[in-house]
C-alpha cells in the first residue's frame, strides 16, 4: 500500500471511530492465523504512550495493520528511529504518522516543571526546545507546544539518515503529522 492509500485508510478508520460506526477489521481468529508467518503493516504510527490514544482503536484497525512506536510525548530517539527503520526496510511501510494529542501529560509537565526525577528529563529535554516558539503563538499554549513538538519530530524523521532520507528521496516514504482530540476522537492532519 502506498502512502496516500495508507493515509486514506487511516482517515476512513478514524471516521468510523468518531461516528460510532466501528467495523473492527482484522480482529478475528482467521486474521490472527493469517499473519503468523509474516506481517505487512500499511502504516507506522509514532504516538504518545498515553492510555487514551491507542492507535488500533482510534483508527479502527486490527492485527497486522499498524506498526506502532509509543513514547511519552511521542518523542523520538535512536531506538525509536531504528524501530521505524525496521518497518520501512523489512516490511515496505510507506507512511509514518507522528501523532500528538490534546491534553498530553508529558507536554504539560515539560511546560510547568524544570526539575525532573529519574529518567523523565530525557523525555522532557526533547520537548523543551519547542516551548519558546509555541509561546509566540495565539491560543492554548499546551496545544501549541504539542503541535510544534509533532512538527519537530516530523522534521527530525524526514532528515534521519541514511534510511528514512533514502526512502523519501525514492518516493517510497511519506512522513506526516497528526493531532488527536481526546474529546471527539478526531485526528487532524497538521503536517502533510
Give the SS3 label for residue 97.
Answer: strand
Cβ proximity to Zn ion: between 151 and 166 the closer is 151
Annotated binding site: 48, 50, 101, 104
Q: Which three cell numbers stand for residue 167?
A: 526512502
| Sheet of strand 187-191, all strands in order from the earlier edge strand to the far edge | 66-71, 43-48, 95-101, 174-180, 187-191
Round the CA-based radius of gyration of the chain to a whole number and report it: 17
Instruction: Report in angstroms how near the CB of residue 106 gets to Zn ion at its nearest.
Output: 5
In this complex, which beta carbon is closest to Zn ion, that of residue 93 or of residue 123? 123
Pick the piece of the chain touching Zn ion (CB under 5 A) from 58-66, 78-86, 98-106, 131-139: 98-106
Q: Which of 125, 124, 145 is nearest to 135 (CA)?
A: 145
Options 3, 7, 45, 48; binder of Zn ion; rule CB under 5 A: 48
Least distance from C-beta 120 to Zn ion, angstroms? 13
Please count the residues of this chain forming the interface with Zn ion, following the rule CB under 5 A. 4
Cα dihedral sign for 33, 39, 43, 47? positive
- Does 50 interact with Zn ion (rule: CB under 5 A)? yes
Q: How far apart are CA 70 and CA 80, in angstroms?
A: 8
Q: Taking CB under 5 A as the rule, does residue 104 contact Zn ion?
A: yes
| Cβ at position 43, least distance to Zn ion in Å | 19
If the CB atoms of residues 15 and 142 are measured against Zn ion, the closer one turns out to be 142
Residues near Zn ion (CB under 5 A) are 48, 50, 104, 106
Amino acid at each position: 500500500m502506498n502512502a496516500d492509500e495508507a493515509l486514506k485508510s487511516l482517515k476512513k478508520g478514524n471516521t468510523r471511530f468518531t461516528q460510532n460506526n466501528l467495523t473492527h477489521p482484522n480482529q478475528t481468529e482467521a486474521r490472527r492465523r493469517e499473519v503468523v508467518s509474516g506481517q505487512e503493516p500499511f502504516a507506522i504510527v509514532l504516538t504518545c504512550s498515553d492510555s487514551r490514544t491507542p492507535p488500533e482503536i482510534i483508527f479502527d484497525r486490527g492485527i497486522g495493520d499498524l506498526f506502532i512506536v509509543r513514547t511519552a510525548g511521542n518523542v523520538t530517539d535512536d531506538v525509536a528511529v531504528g524501530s521505524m527503520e525496521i518497518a520501512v526496510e523489512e516490511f515496505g511501510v510507506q507512511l509514518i504518522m507522528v501523532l500528538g494529542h490534546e491534553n498530553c501529560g508529558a507536554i504539560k509537565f515539560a511546560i510547568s516543571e524544570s526539575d525532573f526525577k529519574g529518567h523523565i528529563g530525557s523525555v522532557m529535554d526533547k520537548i523543551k526546545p519547542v516551548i519558546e516558539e509555541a509561546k509566540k503563538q495565539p491560543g492554548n499554549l499546551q496545544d501549541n507546544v504539542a503541535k510544534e513538538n509533532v512538527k519537530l519530530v516530523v522534521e527530525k524523521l524526514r532528515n534521519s539518515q541514511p534510511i528514512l532520507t533514502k526512502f523519501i528521496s525514492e518516493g517510497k516514504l511519506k512522513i506526516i503529522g497528526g493531532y488527536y482530540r481526546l474529546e471527539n476522537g478526531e485526528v487532524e492532519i497538521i503536517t502533510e
